[in-house]
Amino acid sequence: MKVSMRFIVDLETSRKAVALFKELGMSLSTGVELFLKQALREDGLPFQPTLSKEEIEQMEVDLAQSLRGEGQDIWYDTGEEEILYD
């Protein structure tokens, strides 16, 4: 049985992913399904996450601001249900 899933990604990521999977001869849906199956097989992410130098520097800035009580933190608990954000 198949189910429909909805998720939100930025436009550039979506366009690049569609083009990549098309080049590989599959749809975005098939590519996402392969990722999910591999994650289940690995019992975790099927790759080692990494950050660029710029991303690490931004995280350090964000952490320092948070420790000073600056900024606004927003937490979302998605659980198992589908939640849409506008």
**Global pTM exceeds 0.85:** no
Question: What is the rounded distance in angstroms from the CA atom of residue 20 to the CA atom of residue 56?
Answer: 26
Question: What tens digit of pLDDT does each residue of 16-47 get?
Answer: 999 999 999 999 999 999 999 999 999 999 99
Is the per-residue pLDDT at 68 higher than 50? yes
| Distance set, CA 74 to CA 44, 77, 82 (Å) | 25, 10, 18
